[in-house]
Structure 1
Amino acid sequence: MHFDYLNHPYPSQRQTIFAKNGMVATSQPLAAQAGLDILKKGGNAIDAAIATAAALTVLEPTSNGIGGDAFALVWTNGSLYGLNASGPAPASLSIEAMKAKGYSQMPAHGTAPITVPGAPSAWTKLSKRFGRLPFREVLAPAIAFAEEGYPLTPILGKYWSLAYEKYKTVLTGDEFEAWFKTFAPDNRAPKIGEVWRSPDHAATLKEIAETNGESFYRGRLAEEMTAFIQKHGGYLSKEDLAAYEAEWVDPISVHYKGYDIWEIPPNGQGIVALLGLNIIKSIPINEKESADTYHKQIEAMKLAFTDGKAYVTDPKAMEMTTEELLSESYGEKRRLEIGDHAIEPQPYKPARGGTVYLAAADGEGNMISFIQSNYMGFGSGIVIPGTGIAMQNRGHDFSLDETHPNALKPGKKTYHTIIPGFMTKNNQAVGPFGVMGGYMQPQGHMQVVMNTIDFRLHPQAALDAPRWQWIEGKKILVEPQFPSHLAQALARKGHQVQITVDTGQFGRGQIIWRDAETGVLTGGTEPRADGSIAAW
């Protein structure tokens, strides 16, 4: 497979990277280098991804941690495999329990929204099935970063500081003391360029490495986590952890203009990206920088999100199946609702998220799309004392309305925002891609796919292109570099256009494509983050 790329139409400080033997793309330079080092030691792309993911829990704690969830799409030996490493609600967490404590909606912080973490299980499952190097060796770079420390990069420092300023007024209980001791040891956020280290984090990673994850789910670390959480009114139990394993799943896809676009099935929101592409694929798209093109993209995504929020939850509780939602007839039904002016579908209000994404490839043809998150930045604000484990708050997305599709139930998995993407053509791998960032993610996936296929942009240009984000109703956000004449034209079509200088709201993406004939890898990294590609 070979793309006939157009010239780069957007200014960028980064160039598309080409390599032959291996490539790792992610939002933190040292993490990308950690993955590349594993490739050079004889590891494959899956080993590199695990090393990078574990390193990111140290190198970008503003977005993910050991106590978070993960998903992966793995291409190896001509087949694509999916891994869902999202955890369910604890068995004792229920709507009745939350309402008895006076809650009308799930809180964002504290012990209540903590669900079973899946990330360590993802690492061990991937290593056991597809890895080549010993698990201990793959986690060694992350352990070294935690022990020895590293200097904060600019975007990381920015969001760390913002989180601290928020948390010092929001996180006021005793249960949050370990967060401040871990992430603000001098009663402030570490500064850009300042070295931060976490010996507790290093010790925990060592224990996970030496026990192949068993301590985290069925050993000492499990006991530490559950004892602290239950002491402070939470619900996670040793039984919840012991019963958990990441789940291998069959990826889902839509065929889009000669390519197959793949996502993880629900409970993830990857289906929203596929719904949007399925709706827009038969609509004539003539040029990228046109108000008509942006209008049709936005309207298709509105409809996709309306359906996603109405139906997507734990697949065992979905009223409409994935097959029904992605059918040609359903796509055509929704496509007919797109007219010349902005419509207002059933509204919802997205929340901002915190996530890391990485893509990795080796010279043998193995490729992986991997995403990992604590959600909403640092997550719940709960750090287990003495371990460095920052716990996610994924339960915040559950509804306390019994009639809602995503209503909280014990043991249920919530609607999940983090999604890895993958592209194939004629049953051959094109490669992994992803755009992290809460409810921006499927919108970013759709824009990157169309930038690549419809508008023939190479990976860096596909990521550099100005982005839009639908928020609710007719409201959309655009970046400062979004063409002003097009923003005005969209406003005339009824869109409520708002320009925002916070480019962090538009996600952070990575792309690696592989030429099927030559094996050459082509990568792009996010200009809105400390993005980096390590290539060999």
Structure 2
Amino acid sequence: MNFLNDQSYPYSNTRHATYAKNGMVATSQPLASQAGLEILKKGGNAIDAAIATAACLTVVEPTSNGIGGDAFALVWTKGKLHGLNASGRSPKNISIDAVKEKGYEEIPTYGWVPVTVPGAPGAWAALSEKFGKLPLTEVLQPAITYAEEGYPVSPTLGKFWNKAYNNFKEKLTDSQFENWFNTFAPEGRAPQPGEVWASRDHAETLREIAETNAKSFYEGDLADKIDAFSREHGGFLRKEDLVAYEADWVDPIHVNYRGYDVWEIPPNGQGIAALEALNILKGFDFPDKESINTYHKQIEAMKLAFADAEKHVTEENHMLFTANDILSDAYGEKRRKLITDTALTPEAGEPAAGGTVYLAAADNEGNMVSFIQSNYMGFGSGLVVPGTGIALQNRGHNFSMDPKHVNALAGGKRTYHTIIPGFMTKGDQPVGPFGVMGGFMQPQGHVQVVMNTVDFGLNPQAALDAPRWQWKKDKKVDVENRFPHHLAQGLSVKGHDIQIALEPNEFGRGQIIWRDPESGVLVGGTESRTDGTVAAW
């Protein structure tokens, strides 16, 4: 693969990739990208830049993430790839029976029941302590400034903000949700594109996190405020759950795909679904990207991988099969044989036992970071801790209420998690970070981006701009409205229930940074389906 290739065919309207030597930050928000670049220019490394960008995104893209969400990271530094699982656990005193006692047969989307311990502040602190060069007080300053002084809302952000407001206005009528409206709709509506929005509470919270290396959030004043708010409204979360929180450094998992190692965080994340799909697909030849056969096999492999993930994936110590079992060549071959010339309805196999922001950052020292954080489903639970600007996630919504399921709700447990950072290497050299945010679109986006890069030689921008598909359930597949119609018709003939979707953001929002192994030049791409930008120097 030529990393400096500027091939964009057949996407003639694609933007060109971005090139730089000294550093690069790619995100869905220009202000956040510039914040990361500012930290690089002040002497910070890619890890510092990633933290600064992530914190800034909680302010300038609150529709997708927040201080009260989770995070994961893959960090390449000094010749090694490190993984960070900063997802939070369910409250210790929650259980299936306790939720049923509150009148629920299924875990609700909003309110206190789906709230789990936020991991994002802990991720920032852990990354800074292990790999950062600058103090958190300096790294978080851009985010603090934007929260305190305000910033003009961008077009895509305004669109999703308004959509969330209209949804919440209809559904969140209880008093516990009042502070969400006070914080994010202070004028009695969502801020419009071009209007300035600020949150001084958010700024003060970020400042307190920076000054205490996140200890206030888990052990101090901020933890007390979260605890008090939960008790007031009958929530399960307590300060003891926050005190017990710890971000975990983990060994990333991978498969080798045509000479390239593709890396993901191990379960409880769903990155294993992307790896299983690639493990299945590597047994096929794909001479042409724009062919019915290529798309058909991609979709079929993804369906099989999702079926396995839904049945088998949760926190690792609760799984019946290991990641190695699921990603073995033998199991990949077994699943590959199920793919025929017609669409299948996927079912999980049995291996042999043995609404998110994504950012990528790189510096001129060789450090590269793949980072993702989310509140889940946009703004999350609809709860904002009074006086803090902390919007709490609803990640617990992914737990199962079936006590026999591996991902069954239980106290102190991590749930099946949708947000996943990706990374690619070749031999002992880094290729770089990549990711596609957006719920269950994420592993599907990872597969499409990797194949666009490795199989079809597209540069980062073209790899992201290429029309996408998304498997939904059974045989239903959504395709973008610019997806070639003759291919959509051909897939329909093979038995796929093809639906043309009008909303481009349904298909995820991605970022990529590759490093040329010979020159060290960085080449990046950013999502054309949102307000994305690559900041570089």
> Shorter-normalised TM-score: what interval?
over 0.9
What whole-Å deviation, never above 9, does each CA across 1:305-328 have from its counterpart, x for those lacking one?
Answer: 000101000111001111100000
Distance 1:11 1:66 in 2: 39
Give the CA deviation at 1:159.
0.2
Structure 1 counterpart of 2:291: 290
Distance in 1, matches of 2:295 and 2:401, equals 36
Distance 1:3 1:34 in 2: 26
Structure-2 residue corresponding to 1:322 = 323
| SS of match in other structure, 2:108 | coil
Residue 531 of structure 1 pairs with residue 529 of structure 2: no
**Do structure 1's residue 223 and structure 2's residue 232 form an aligned pair?**
no
In 2, the alpha carbon distance for the partners of 1:7 and 1:505 equals 23
User: Does the CA contact (< 8 Å) of 2:3 and 2:523 recur in 1?
Assistant: no
Q: Find the counterpart in structure 1 of residue 401 from structure 2.
A: 400
Q: Tell me the residue number matched to 2:237.
A: 236
Distance 2:425 2:291 in 1: 28
Rounded to whole Å, the distance in 1 between the matches of 2:507 and 2:515 is 26
Deviation at 1:518, TM superposition (A): 0.5
- In the aligned structure 1, how far is the partner of 2:218 from the partner of 2:28? 28
Alpha-carbon distance in 1 for matches of 2:270, 2:422: 11
- Are the counterparts in 1 of residues 467 and 482 from structure 2 also a CA contact under 8 Å? yes
2:140 is paired with a residue whose SS is helix
> C-alpha distance in 2, partners of 1:57/1:13?
29
The aligned runs of 1:185-196 (5 Å cut-off) are 185-196=186-197
What SS is found at the alignment partner of 1:519?
coil
- Measured in 1, the distance between the counterparts of 2:24 and 2:3 equals 18
2:276 corresponds in structure 1 to 275
Deviations 1:170-212 (A, max 9, x none): 0010000000000000000000010000000000001101111
Matched, 1:488 2:489: yes
Deviations 1:37-72 (A, max 9, x none): 000000000000000000000000000000000000
Distance 2:205 2:149 in 1: 15
Tell me whether 1:85 sits opposite 2:86 in the alignment. Answer: yes
Q: How does 1:138-287 map to 2 (within 5 A)?
A: 138-287=139-288
Any conservation in 2 of the 1:4–1:456 contact (CA below 8 Å)? no
What is residue 350 of structure 1 aligned with on the other side? none
Secondary structure of 1:418's partner? coil
Q: Could you list the per-position Cα deviations for residues 410-464 of structure 1 after superposition, in whole angstroms to 9, with x for gaps in the alignment?
A: 1110000000000000110000000000000000000000000000000000000
CA distance in 1, matches of 2:224, 2:102: 25
- The corresponding residue for 1:43 is 44
Report the equivalent of 2:504: 503
**What SS does the corresponding residue of 1:365 show, helix, strand or coil?**
coil
Question: TM-score, normalized by length of structure 1?
Answer: 0.98
Equivalent position of 1:514 in the other structure = 515
Q: Equivalents in 1 of 2:203, 2:12: separation in Å?
A: 40
Distance 1:338 1:387 in 2: 51
Q: Is 1:417–2:418 an aligned residue pair?
A: yes
Letter in 1 for 2:433: P
**Residue correspondence of structure 1 range 115-134 to structure 2 within 5 A:** 115-134=116-135
C-alpha separation in 2, matches of 1:391 and 1:12: 39
Contact 2:70 2:118 in 1 (8 A): yes
Q: Percent identity?
A: 67
Q: Note the C-alpha offset of 1:7.
A: 4.0
Counterpart-to-counterpart distance in 2, 1:267 and 1:79: 22
Report which stretch shifted further, 404-413 or 47-56: 404-413
Distance of 1:243 and 1:481 partners within structure 2: 48
Assess if the C-alpha contact under 8 Å between 1:226 and 1:236 holds in 2: yes
Preserved contact between residue 381 and residue 391 of structure 1 (Cα < 8 Å):
yes
Letter in 2 for 1:74: V
Aligned equivalent of 1:460 = 461
Q: Does residue 427 of structure 1 match 2:456?
A: no
Helix, strand or coil at the partner of 1:517:
coil
Aligned counterpart, 1:307: 308
SS where residue 498 of structure 2 aligns?
strand
The aligned residue for residue 375 of structure 2 is 374
SS of match in other structure, 2:304: helix
Secondary structure, in 3 states, of the residue corresponding to 1:424?
strand
Verify: 1:14 aligned to 2:15, yes or no. yes
Contact 1:261 1:424 in 2 (8 A): yes
Distance 2:76 2:197 in 1: 35
Deviation at 1:135, TM superposition (A): 1.0
Q: Distance in 2 between matches of 1:155 and 1:243?
A: 37
Output the CA distance in 2 between the equivalents of 1:171 and 1:417. 24
How far does residue 345 in structure 1 lie from its aligned partner after superposition? 1.3
8 A Cα contact 2:270 2:420, kept in partner: yes
Residues 112 and 233 in structure 1, CA contact (< 8 A), matched pair in contact too = no
In 2: Cα distance, 1:174 partner to 1:14 partner: 47
Would you say the 8 A contact 1:346–1:473 is kept in 2?
no
The letter of the residue matching 1:242 is: V
Structure 1 unpaired stretches of 5+ = 348-353
**What's the offset of the Cα at 1:286?**
1.5
Report Cα offsets for 1:337-384 as digits up to 9, x if no partner: 00000000139xxxxxx1000000001110000000000000000000
The CA distance in 1 between the partners of 2:331 and 2:380, in whole Å, is: 36
**Considering only aligned residues, what root-mean-square deviation do their CA atoms show, in Å?**
0.9
Partner amino acid, structure 1, of 2:33: A
Is the CA contact (8 Å cut-off) linking 2:14 and 2:461 kept in structure 1? no
Residue pair 1:2, 1:516 contacting (<8 A) in 2 also: no
Provide TM-score, normalisation by structure 2. Answer: 0.98
Counterpart residue type for residue 294 of structure 1: Y
1:468-495 CA-partner distances (Å, limit 9, x unpaired): 0000000000000000000000000000
Runs ≥4 residues deviating over 3 A: 1-8
SS at match of 1:513: strand
CA distance in 2, matches of 1:71, 1:77: 20
| Structure 2 match to 1:478 | 479
2: CA distance between counterparts of 1:78 and 1:20? 19
1:332-371 paired onto structure 2 within 5 Å: 332-346=333-347, 354-371=355-372
> In structure 2, what is the equivalent of residue 3 of structure 1?
3
Counterparts of 2:526 and 2:231, CA distance in 1:
41
Residue type matched to 1:19 in 2? Answer: A
Aligned partner of residue 343 in structure 1, secondary structure: coil
Aligned residues: 530
C-alpha deviation, 1:13, in angstroms: 5.8
CA contact (8 A) 1:106 1:113 kept: yes
What is the aligned partner in structure 1 of residue 60 from structure 2? Answer: 59
